[in-house]
A and B are shown apart, each in its own frame.
Chain A
């Protein structure tokens, strides 16, 4: 147990070495050349890492004492994170050229952040947990403000940094209390040592959950989300909305279920409140938004509420629904963000919802795809988004969390309103802008992702099995 086994985290080590190599490569090349080189190489190395992760060649198990664990759950989430980052790097190539921001450091920071996320989902003790969260979020603060000539970008970066640092303090305080009252930093020892009557560990749990809730922007720790999403470059917004959320939810699920299983009643009640508030606030606040990125920010808050519902369940069925939800959320959000990036007019990207008016006449294919994606986000059958919400709600009902399920359905109905409003604007309003033709690479990505969304119902068992394997490894 105490011997250091490097093999289970070989993908992370590989990615770390590659990122440093690319950093040096970027420094010694100039300008646009450096960006193209670093970007292409990083996409290739992420693909290699993804192949390593899903091929099953890497042995599972504990490494570095028992600081890190590699099991089916972490492999599933790592695959999602890597897929998201590969797609975002491909889109960034096109987007950054449009806004003239070809800095190779952008790629390096994304790579380092991805390493942090991969360690987050396989962290198995409190110190690794905290360090990996920091490793993940520090590059994100910089990425939020990487357009340092734009006031909004700088503002969003500063806001994110200050609030993120504060939440890290709260998280660290909570973790230190948990450590103090359980006497161990390792999840397995924590689970064994915990005394349910101890009030100190409960206080620690509450603080730690507050810190986690900030990372996944659950209400009432969501204040930063709309501003940061609006101010950052759109590719970074897409990255924010997908990858860190997946990593943080995986980390929360692991610490709560393997580390603090005997406190289930306590953390469940906290998570239920977070979940209900997130779903409702996400649904209501999005109604008044005119900026697409702000709207998607509130939409992601609402989705995080649904995902938390899966963890609040606490059973294997709940975690399975969480895994499935994260997979479908990844596909839908990636598709919708890439569509937004694709719609532009002479390097001016769509920002306001009204700019989409009459899209059905000027670009009917994109209008149909956007409608499919928005219907899916709203959870209308038979699209993928419906199945995501269905399994989460089904698991909640099976665990007798009826009121949670009722709030879920109600907020889903409310959120359908603003998704449908965009479709109404696209189909029934007069057209205002004719967009430029979309590049082939983006088209390919958008079509693939929307095809998965549309055709999910034909064989849901394919994805359900993956989610099942991932979830069951958490309960051994």
Chain B
């Protein structure tokens, strides 16, 4: 258990530190990289908790898609970094207020929550050695909840078609490479002898 504790403190301190650096670093690209570090450490904490599926999803979705998208946007937009960093102090009061509100709400929830827990019947999770998280999820996702899964798939298909329809632009006037006509070219129909009288154009 000692190793677990050490790992937990390691992950959480790096996570908190990198979260601070996301806000404080002067370069937005560094901010995004620290955000990725933060996600990796939270994935580590999920692993310690035995929630390996959540850890994978966090890495795949947040690091693989969201953070990389952020990185693209930050690198493609030509933002003036200096003007961004100079105004940090002016945001401090607002940030502190929001932080304080969230902290007090957390305290309220922690110390006043008295609602009784409903005992959930977790047949499938009973024998924890039998299934991993991923297997357990898969067992219900593809059987009992197949309808939801398929509907979500259809939604993704619709949004994909939508994105393609709205952005693809077939211009008939655009000049494209036609390999067939390039290969079929020969000297007979591409070179022409023209007698030009002196003093006149073609």
A interface residues (Cβ-Cβ under 8 A, vs B)? 2, 4, 16, 20, 23, 64-65, 67-68, 103, 105-106, 108-109, 112-113, 115-116, 119, 127-128, 131-132, 134-135, 138-139, 141-142, 145-146, 148, 157, 183
Contact = CB atoms under 8 A, between A and B. Distances in A.
A266 B148 CA distance: 30
B165 A146 contact: yes
B79 interface: no
A64 B155 contact: no
B161 interface: yes
Contacts of A131: 148, 151-152, 155
B154 A142 contact: no
Nearest to B147: A64
B166 A67 contact: no
Nearest to A67: B147
Nearest to B164: A105
Contact of B165 (A2, A64, A103, A116): A103
A73 B159 CA distance: 30
Given A105-B161, A135-B155, 19 more contacts: A2-B144, A65-B144, A67-B147, A67-B148, A103-B165, A105-B164, A108-B161, A109-B158, A112-B154, A116-B154, A127-B148, A132-B151, A134-B155, A135-B151, A135-B154, A138-B159, A142-B165, A157-B166, A183-B118
A64 B146 CA distance: 8
Contact of A142 (B118, B144, B157, B166): B166
A119 B151 contact: yes
Interface of B: 118, 144, 146-148, 151-152, 154-155, 157-159, 161-162, 164-166
Contact of A115 (B154, B161, B162, B164): B154
Main secondary structure on B side of the interface with A: helix
A128 B151 contact: yes
Nearest to A111: B158
Nearest to A112: B158
B154 A4 contact: no
B160 to A, nearest CB: 10
A459 to B, nearest CB: 40
A103 B159 CA distance: 16
A-B pairs, top 4 by smallest CB distance, nearest first, are A142-B162, A131-B151, A64-B147, A105-B165
B166 A146 contact: yes
A69 B144 CA distance: 16
A105 B168 CA distance: 12
Contact of A112 (B152, B157, B164, B165): B157
Contacts of B118: 183
B161 A128 contact: no
B155 A128 contact: no
Nearest to B152: A131
A23 B161 contact: yes
Given A109-B165, A146-B165, A148-B166, A128 B147 contact: yes
**Which of B118, B152, B154 has the most C-beta atoms of chain A within 10 angstroms of its own C-beta?**
B154
Nearest to B149: A131
Contacts of A116: 154
B111 to A, nearest CB: 20
Nearest to A134: B155
Contacts of B144: 2, 65
A183 B164 CA distance: 40
Contacts of A108: 161
A68 B147 contact: yes
A138 B158 contact: yes
B163 to A, nearest CB: 8
A139 B156 CA distance: 10
Contacts of A23: 161
A103 B158 CA distance: 15
A409 to B, nearest CB: 42
Contacts of B164: 105
Nearest to B120: A183
B153 to A, nearest CB: 10
14 contacts: A67-B147, A68-B147, A105-B164, A108-B161, A112-B157, A113-B158, A115-B154, A128-B147, A128-B148, A131-B151, A134-B155, A135-B158, A138-B155, A141-B162
A321 B148 CA distance: 32
A139 B158 contact: yes
Contacts of B151: 119, 128, 131-132, 135
A422 to B, nearest CB: 35
A12 to B, nearest CB: 10
A34 B144 CA distance: 38
Contacts of A112: 154, 157-158, 161
A139 B151 CA distance: 14
A113 B154 CA distance: 10
Nearest to A65: B144
A256 to B, nearest CB: 22
A145 B163 CA distance: 11
A453 to B, nearest CB: 34
A1 to B, nearest CB: 12
A116 B150 CA distance: 12
Contacts of A4: 146
A105 B165 CA distance: 7
